[in-house]
Amino acid sequence: MKLYDHPTAPNPRRVRVFLAEKDIEVERVSVDLQAGEHKTPEFLQKNMNGQIPVLELDDGTCISESIAICRYFEALHPDPSLFGTTAKDIARIEMHMRRIELVLGRNIGVSWVNGAVVAQIAKGRFTQIPEAKTQSDAAVNAYYERLDGELANRAMIAGDDYSAADISAMCVIDFAEQLVNLKPDDGLSNLARWRKQVGSRPSASA
Ligand SMILES: N[C@@H](CCC(=O)N[C@@H](CS)C(=O)NCC(=O)O)C(=O)O
């Protein structure tokens, strides 16, 4: 089994952190995104979207989409559960993960594609739209404020316990801070407290 990976990309990191929480070792293959290794005909056979992560099983089956890969491992190794065990927890974790991906992650993605790092490393691959970045930056900051309000009432993103929703949120917010220049405002103390807690887990450095 192999995990097609990249050291700074947030989606492969979600899988690495998830695996570390479950103490599962998987062989990793680093994909050179700048050289376009993920767009070769051979890689497109593994994931038609030309993206990482991809988990390739020993029988050749390829699973892409970070959460699908995590669910594969959750099914094989249910303890500790990171997607919940009761109907309510499963639904709440899913709700928060979808919000993080579809609202926060999507806006961070727009800011990334239209931002300074992509202008440097992917010259000519994207037509950058500054107005789109202005809007997505504002949406990200507004999301941070809402999240800060929610974290005033509970320890973790989806409740009292650490879950896959915390992994998704941590990976995307760290990426936004490090590579998109979208750091949560220092005044958002609940968000800062949560970031410190999840960031100090040994899995965070995976
Ligand atoms: N929805 C996918 C997103 C995967 C994704 O966006 N991967 C990025 C790296 S974090 C990638 O491969 N980017 C290169 C590209 O899209 O060309 C998932 O959750 O795995």
Q: Whose CA is nearest to atom 17 of ligand 1?
A: 51
- The whole-number pLDDT of residue 51 equals 97
Give the span between the Cα atoms of 135 and 133, in whole angstroms: 5
- Please give the distance, rounded to the nearest whole angstrom, from the Cα atom of residue 205 to the centre of ligand 1: 20
CATH class of 87-205: mainly alpha
Give the span between the Cα atoms of 156 and 161, in whole angstroms: 6
Tens digit of each residue's pLDDT (9 = 90 or more) over 59-109: 999 999 999 999 999 999 999 999 999 999 999 999 999 999 999 999 999
Q: Taking a C-beta distance cutoff of 8 angstroms, is the pair 154, 141 a contact? A: no
- The whole-number pLDDT of residue 136 equals 98
CATH 1.20.1050.10 in the chain, residues?
Answer: 87-205
CATH class of 2-76: alpha beta
Average pLDDT estimate for 172-200: 98
Closest ligand 1 atom to Cα of 33: 14
According to DSSP, residue 34 is labeled T
The encoded tokens of residue 27 equal 């062989």
Q: Are strands 27-30 and 54-56 parallel, antiparallel or unpaired?
A: unpaired
- The whole-number pLDDT of residue 126 equals 79
Neighbouring residues of 107: CB distance < 8 A, sequence distance ≥ 6: 136, 139, 140, 143
pTM equals 0.97
- Please give the distance, rounded to the nearest whole angstrom, from the Cα atom of residue 65 to the centre of ligand 1: 8
Site to probe by mutation for ligand 1, drawn from 51, 126, 167 as the one with most ligand atoms within 8 Å of Cβ, is 51
Q: What's the chain's length in residues?
A: 206
Radius of gyration of the chain (CA): 17
Distance of CA 50 to the CA centre of its chain: 17
- Please give the distance, rounded to the nearest whole angstrom, from the Cα atom of residue 80 to the centre of ligand 1: 26
Q: Whose CA is nearest to atom 2 of ligand 1?
A: 65
Tens digit of each residue's pLDDT (9 = 90 or more) over 72-86: 999 999 999 999 999
Give the span between the Cα atoms of 67 and 6, in whole angstroms: 16
Give the span between the Cα atoms of 4 and 62, in whole angstroms: 10
- Please give the distance, rounded to the nearest whole angstrom, from the Cα atom of residue 78 to the centre of ligand 1: 26
Q: Determine which helix (DSSP H) or strand (DSSP E) holds 116, and give its type and residue range.
A: helix 116-121
Closest ligand 1 atom to Cα of 64: 20
Pocket of ligand 1 (CB under 6 A): 9-11, 33, 38, 50-53, 65-66
Site to probe by mutation for ligand 1, drawn from 6, 8, 11 as the one with most ligand atoms within 8 Å of Cβ, is 11
- The whole-number pLDDT of residue 121 equals 86
Residue 156's closest CA among 143, 144, 165, 168?
A: 165
- The whole-number pLDDT of residue 122 equals 80
Alpha helices in 32-85 (DSSP H): 41-46, 66-76
- Please give the distance, rounded to the nearest whole angstrom, from the Cα atom of residue 11 to the centre of ligand 1: 6
Average per-residue pLDDT for the chain: 97
